Structure 1
Amino acid sequence: MTKRIEKTKIMHRVVEHGGVLYFGGLVADDMTLGMGDQTRQICAKLDKLLAAAGSDKTKLLTAQIYVTDMGGKNDMNTAWLEWLDDAHLPSRATIGVASLGSPETLIEVVVTAST
């Protein structure tokens, strides 16, 4: 059975199938913030969505992180590691991109987790 959580105009934020949670890309709400603080906002959103799906950050399997400026990667890593316990780090790729839709959007995060 497939379960869908938090519908937006173009997608569901989370789709669960077979005990796996597939997340759509998440961006920060406050685009005036720098890379680290945008990352913190995204992590807070992930906490809420994971809880809504009956999971938590210890069950993250993989993450794809898209950033528009690799120069901000250290700030992103700092925020990421503040959020995650090092015993439960998912596999991860950080990908540099030219744009995420608006110049103020510095980071977009896509994760997969188990229930």
Structure 2
Amino acid sequence: MIERIDTGARMSKIVKHNGVAYLCGQVGDGDTVTEQTRDCISRIEALLAKAGSSPDRMLQAVIWLADMADFAEMNAVWDAWVPEGHAPARACGEARLARDVLKVEIIVTAACD
């Protein structure tokens, strides 16, 4: 069975299938990469909880940065957040994001109930 949560005309915020939750890409508010990453992570935590999951159950993360020069700044926030011993498989690359003010977008897949 496929369960779609917070579904709109274009996308669902969460899709659950066979014990896996697929989250839509999350962006955050703020002027700096640190602020946007913190807000983005907060949104991810809320979606994970809604899906019956948590950060220690993440399977994969794909991170897009508007500028790879921000890699270390984003990683400082990410590394402090990921539960020790539970780092997901991860990729990070540079991409033009949907709005010019965006600096980071994170897409997470996690095991769920």
What letter is aligned with 2:103? L
Task: Work out whether residues 36 and 76 of structure 1, in 8 Å CA contact, stay in contact via their aligned partners in 2.
Answer: yes
What letter is aligned with 2:37? T
Alpha-carbon offset, residue 44 of structure 1: 0.4
Take 1:75 and 1:86, find their aligned partners in 2: how far apart are those partners? 19
TM score, norm. by length of structure 2:
0.93
- 1:104-115 aligned within 5 A: 104-115=101-112
The aligned residue for residue 96 of structure 1 is 94
The aligned residue for residue 35 of structure 1 is 33
Task: Work out whether residues 37 and 79 of structure 1, in 8 Å CA contact, stay in contact via their aligned partners in 2.
Answer: no
Gaps of 5+ in 1: none
Percent identity reads 35
Matched, 1:75 2:55: no
Take 1:44 and 1:78, find their aligned partners in 2: how far apart are those partners? 15
Alpha-carbon offset, residue 113 of structure 1: 0.4
TM score, norm. by length of structure 1:
0.92
Cα 1:3–1:41 change in 2 (3 A) is: same
Moved over 4 A (4+): none
Aligned length: 112
Q: CA RMSD in A?
A: 1.1
Alpha-carbon offset, residue 7 of structure 1: 2.2
Matched, 1:12 2:12: yes
Once the two structures are superposed, residues 79-100 of structure 1 have per-residue CA deviations (whole angstroms, 9 ceiling, x without a partner) of 1112112211101000111x11
Take 2:39 and 2:5, find their aligned partners in 1: how far apart are those partners? 19
